[in-house]
Amino acid sequence: MKTQDLTKHCGTAIEGVQLARLEGEALDRVREIAYRRGVAVFRDQDFGPEDHIAFAKRWGGIDINNYFPLTDEHPEIAVVRKRKDQTMNIGGGWHTDHSYDQVPAMGSILVARDLPPSGGDTLWAHMGAAYDALPDETKAKLELLEAFHTADHIYAPDGIYAKTDQGGELRGKDLKTGATHPVVVRHPQTGQKLLYVNPGFTINFAGRSREESLPLLQELFAHAMKEEFQCRVGWEPGTVAIWDNRTTWHYAMNDYQGHAREMHRITLTGEPLAA
């Protein structure tokens, strides 16, 4: 196994591994890289839907996403799709998947299935590096804070997607979500301190209104969005990415209008988060 870090803080490309056969100690090494570097990227994978599901089960549990369409044959696999005549994509803003769940998903395994001729990259940002770089006064302010997360403003009938051409295919419009998590969490496996608020799903600090929360939230978002914490992955047929939702945010570029893009995602079960 050969590894190459994508940027100083975020992402590692792993060579010499076929995920379909990965197990045991080598799998544990990949886990560790995903936990610490936020995203592990694999090229030239022979990785069909059955391999995808079997690998996710070797990793741990599978969470079924309540909103994305599922493949007919495999309800474990969510389809992240933009048809060529759609203008809105999925995940086109910085976010952390499932932070609105009481027990947020650990991460995801995303597989490229149909790619535009160019564009459609995915960006990740490392929330451990972002936390470490905060001024000490800000770190002190965050110490005992908790924040409320929900997905209702995104997926509800009057939510963001419903107003776009992605609205039709999404499920779960009547679901209500909400969870409160510490603003700084410890990574369950590595113990690293991570900034755990995100622009997609975090609404307010516990005990404060949205209005009272916005100035500090926006300060944190602007800080964490800095390019120095990011890495970027261009997809090719056979590319697979495994990311950790606690360690990172991610962002799907929407710069391929007039072309289709389809990815298969399996969401990996996580554990409760604590400060």
Q: For ligand AKG, give the closer residue by CB, 122 or 248.
A: 122
250 a catalytic residue:
yes
Q: Which of 207/237 has CB closer to ligand AKG?
A: 237
Q: Count helices and strands (H / E) in the chain.
A: 6, 16
Active-site residue flag, 36? no
Residue type present at position 187: H
Contact string 72-101 vs Fe ion (x = CB under 5 A): -------------------x-----x----
Residues with Cβ within 8 Å of 144's Cβ and at least 6 positions away in sequence, in order, are 275
Binding-site partner at residue 104 among ligand AKG, Fe ion, none, CB < 5 to 8 Å by type: none
Out of 95, 98, 181, 187, the active site residue is: 95
Strands (E) across the chain are located at: 2-5, 12-15, 39-42, 62-63, 78-82, 107-114, 122-126, 146-149, 179-182, 184-186, 193-195, 202-205, 230-233, 240-244, 248-252, 261-268
Listed residue (154, 173, 157, 39) closest to 95, CA to CA: 154
The amino acid at residue 9 is H
Nearer to Fe ion, 51 or 67 (CB): 67
200 sits near Fe ion (criterion: CB under 5 A): no
Residue nearest to ligand AKG (CB): 91
User: Using the rule CB under 6 A, which residue among 77, 79, 80, 266 binds ligand AKG?
Assistant: 80
Q: Residue 252's binding partner, choosing from ligand AKG, Fe ion, none, with beta-carbon cut-off 5 to 8 A by kind? A: ligand AKG
Q: Which residues of this chain interact with Fe ion, rule CB under 5 A?
A: 91, 97
